[in-house]
Structure 1
Amino acid sequence: MDNAHACTACGDSLSTDWAIQGVSTTPGFIADLSHSYINQNQQRYGTSKASPALISSLRGAGQEIEDYTKTQMVTASLNYTNDTWGVNTQLPFIRRTHGTFGEEENNYGSSFSSNLGDVRVIGRYTGLSVDRTAGIIAGLKLPTGSTNTKFSGGTPDLINTSLDRALQNGTGSTDLIMGGFVSGAAGKYGWFAQGTLQHAVSTKTIDGLDYRPGDTYLLNTGMRYAKFGSQFTPMLQLMYTHRRPDTGAGASPADSLTQGPSTGGTLVHLAPGATIRIGGGTSVYGFIQLPVYQNANSLQLGANYTLTLGIRHSF
């Protein structure tokens, strides 16, 4: 639900930087570079894997059937923290391959894209409490990502036709992001909880077709364990994502059997990970996101895991 917006498996609520959650108020900059990999090759319908019979029924009714989507995303971010406020800017670069069985029998299309995604600028204010353990979040997702990827391989009648808007590296919309967070500590444990709402306030019409990505609700709670000292810190996060269906003439067609929405859904991820400090203000980290609950509107692609690795430097 981050970058391949039609799927339930693409959660983007993972927090890779404890300081950005307001847990740390040390003034200064943090530069971060991360790489995420997700291979969506699992057909899901509702809360379970889609059966071959169901897929055949949808196919027979003329519905497109997505085959796979492989996404690699490199995100460069710069975070600044002052006494009571901070700002984080995220610049993603997305490399994606995708395959789809078309609406007509024996049709198949494949695509490749490698370009900028949608930039995010998120501010936070921690002056709501004396100890600065609670705050508000406000920011924008900007329409910097590509929206013109076309099928480049497959059967001739699909080549050079546009991918669904939900599969583009950018939504074409300017989104408002609002939320809040709270954090604390108990002995060797630190924790945070955060909630945000993302809503498109300005959209882009392409080829005469309007498109509005569905609102996204994110809840994320995390815990870290400091008994091993400052060099190694294990973490565990639980993330809830609910995305409402996309709307507009450019949105994916309705489910061919139920006529209900074919985008949106609910996902819960469990994400264990760790940060290792390597000295000089530099640390590396890794997380694996594991889906523990998925409820997809119509037939959507899911993934068994999402892997994120990164490096950051404080100065």
Structure 2
Amino acid sequence: MKSRFPLNAAMALLAACPSLALACSSCGCTLNADWASQGLTTRTGLSVDLRYDYFKQDELRTGTGRFDAAQVSYPADQEIQQKTANRNTTLTLDYGLNADWGISLQLPYINRYHETIVDGDTDVSTSRSSAWGDARVLGRYQGFSPERNWGVQFGLKLPTGKTSERFNGGPQAGEALDRGLQPGTGSTDLLLGLYRFGPLNQHFDYFAQGLLQVPVTAKDEFKPGLGMNLSAGVRYVSAGMVVPQLQLNARIEQRESGDNADVANSGATLVYLSPGATVNITQQFKLYGFFQVPVYQRVNGLQIEPRSSFSLGAHYNY
């Protein structure tokens, strides 16, 4: 990268959200700040990233519009979700083997509070879970051209997250929580990606990435839907210590499958606008933040979606 923009000054996320599957509500975080796909990890050696994401899903939607829950009389013949508050922390360890090859490991910790009125009930049932989610291992290769400005990603999402959480309040107390709301999906997923990056002019850089997630195994009659994340962004690299960025992020996800899946109320197409910035504290240490708002949402069945989300984090290069 050019000297005006240090290699390790960027946004740190590595598409964590696809590892989270929420039954009856699609993932509310589509932000991408994958260092590799943005051309910011061409250096060798270890880097560590710690990120906090918050998003509250409290807007009930069907198709491309909102659903007025006030019109529902209880007991109802279908589940009516109330809200889901997600406070997630992700540790990412990235190691650049050389200018062409690299590998990263993601370890997410999921903190989730959920309220819903199950079909046939008249009162709210609640759940609160705090547990490790599904780990992800992702390799990369970008030695296809002398500029090394495009590459491929490949790896696995592993079934390391807990899948046995239960409701802890209300009429459903003690009953198993929906599989899509568990910290882990129970599936092993194949990850395949393609990315490109480069300068637009002396003031702006760009990046684009697509990452496909294909579940290849299932657990206890539940399999998440095939998913695709698409991201594009521009950075203003002439502002000195602060590096602003604007992203457009899309998540396309098919329906869940299996006897324990909520087939009717899963799968969606989501598009978000994500402004943010990185602050270069030193050459090695960076802080960053992003705010995300939806610009298009289409869901299957009845699902709750976030009105906004934010991410804060710190990144250190050794």
Q: TM-score, normalised by structure 1?
A: 0.90
The yes-or-no answer on 1:27 pairing with 2:44 is yes
What corresponds to 1:141 in structure 2?
157
Give, in whole Å, the separation in 1 of the partners of 2:38 and 2:247. 13
2 CA distance for matches of 1:56 and 1:264? 23
Q: Is the 8 A contact 2:84 2:112 kept in 1?
A: yes
CA contact under 8 A between 1:33 and 1:77: conserved in structure 2? yes
Deviation at 1:28, TM superposition (A): 2.1
Residue in 2 aligned with 1:40? 57
In structure 2, how many angstroms separate the alpha carbons of the residues matched to 1:201 and 1:182?
A: 27
Q: Which whole-Å deviations, capped at 9, do the CAs of 1:134-154 have from their partners, x for residues lacking one?
A: 111101101111101100001
Matched residue type, 2:254: R
1:13 to partner: Cα distance: 3.8
Matched, 1:167 2:181: yes
Offset, 1:47: 0.7
- Which residue of structure 1 aligns with residue 269 of structure 2? 266
In structure 1, the residue corresponding to 2:216 is in which secondary structure?
strand
Pick from 83, 86, 92 the counterpart of residue 77 of structure 1. Answer: 92
Change (3 A) 1:282 1:17: farther
Match of 1:213 in 2: 224
**Aligned partners of 1:7 and 1:263 also within 8 Å:** yes
* In structure 2, C-alpha distance between the alignment counterparts of 1:60 and 1:47, rounded to whole Å: 26
Matched to 2:104, the amino acid is: N
Structure-1 residue corresponding to 2:314: 311
Once residues 36 and 249 of structure 1 are traced to their aligned partners in structure 2, the CA distance between those partners, rounded to angstroms, is 31
What is the Cα deviation at residue 60 of structure 1? 6.2
Equivalent of residue 225 in structure 1, options 211, 236, 253: 236
1:104 to 120, 123, 129: 120
Partner SS for 2:72: helix
Aligned residue number for residue 82 of structure 2: 67
Contact 1:8/1:266 (8 A) holds in 2: no
How far apart in 1 are the matches of 2:260 and 2:151? 37
Residues of 2 paired with 1:235 and 1:9: CA distance? 25
CA contact (8 A) 2:24 2:265 kept: no
Shift of 1:25: 1.2
The number of residues matched between the two structures is 299
Instruction: Show structure 2 runs of 5+ residues with no match.
Output: 1-16
- Distance between the aligned counterparts of 1:60 and 1:110, measured in 2? 17
What CA distance in whole angstroms lies between the structure 1 residues aligned with 2:306 and 2:23? 13
User: What does residue range 189-208 of structure 1 map to in structure 2 within 5 Å?
Assistant: 189-205=204-220
1:288 to 279, 286, 291: 291
Partner amino acid for 1:249? D
- Rounded to whole Å, the distance in 2 between the matches of 1:11 and 1:97 is 14
- Please state whether the residue corresponding to 2:61 is helix, strand or coil: strand
What residue in structure 2 maps to residue 257 of structure 1?
A: none
Cα distance, 1:102 vs structure 2: 1.2
CA drift of 1:105 comes to: 3.5
Question: Which region of structure 1 is more displaced relative to structure 2, 2-11 or 37-46?
Answer: 2-11
| Alignment CA distance shift 1:193-1:14 (3 Å) | same
Distance 2:149 2:29 in 1: 23
Shift in Å, 1:287: 0.4
Give how far 1:83 is off.
1.2
Question: Aligned equivalents of 1:51 and 1:105: distance in 2?
Answer: 18
Deviation of 1:20 (Å): 5.2
Q: Is the 8 A contact 2:206 2:233 kept in 1?
A: yes
What's the CA shift for 1:10? 2.1
Q: State the Cα RMSD in Å.
A: 1.7
Q: Distance in 2 between matches of 1:105 and 1:133?
A: 55
